């Protein structure tokens, strides 16, 4: 995950171990990030939202929330059996962006 610091620079804020290494951002990625940053600032949301890399279809997923000073992560196997499905937002791919990355709010 990345977020914008007080100086407006995009900085990594959370890390996940992976045996593979991401490639560098393309020019289209950087162009999108600048537009995204401007839209967040326009709406006063630049301190609230950031960017996350789509980990790929192999990723089982997790849900992280904070309670007090504790960050709690749940894997799908941790969810109650009664919880079978949930709604998710629609993602829109931006033409020209790297296909291994998906950016969202």
| Helix or strand run (H / E) with residue 3 | strand 2-4
| Full 3-state SS string of 45-62 | CCCCCCECCCCCCCCCCC
The per-type count for the chain, helices as H runs and strands as E runs, is: 1, 4
What pLDDT is recorded for position 97?
Answer: 52
What pLDDT is recorded for position 45?
Answer: 87
Q: Any idea what DSSP says for residue 17?
A: -
Per-residue pLDDT of the chain (105 residues; tens, 9 = 90+): 778 888 888 888 777 667 777 778 889 988 998 898 899 889 988 878 888 777 676 777 777 777 888 888 877 777 777 765 555 554 455 555 554 554 443
Measured in whole angstroms, how far is the alpha carbon of residue 98 from the centre of its chain?
A: 15
The answer to whether 11 and 3 have CB atoms below 8 angstroms apart is yes
- The C-alpha torsion from 34 through 27 and 92 to 23, rounded to 10°, is -110
* Calpha distance 105→89 (Å, rounded): 10
């Amino acid at each position: 995950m990345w977020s914008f610091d007080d100086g407006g620079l995009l900085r990594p804020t959370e890390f996940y171990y992976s045996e593979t290494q991401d490639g560098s951002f393309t020019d289209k990625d950087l162009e999108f990030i600048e537009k995204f940053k401007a839209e967040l600032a326009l709406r006063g949301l630049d301190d609230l939202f950031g960017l996350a890399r789509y980990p790929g279809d192999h990723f089982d997923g997790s849900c992280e929330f904070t309670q007090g000073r504790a960050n709690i992560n749940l894997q799908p196997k941790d969810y109650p059996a009664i919880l079978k499905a949930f709604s998710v937002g629609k993602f829109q791919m931006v033409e020209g962006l790297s296909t291994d990355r998906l950016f969202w709010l």
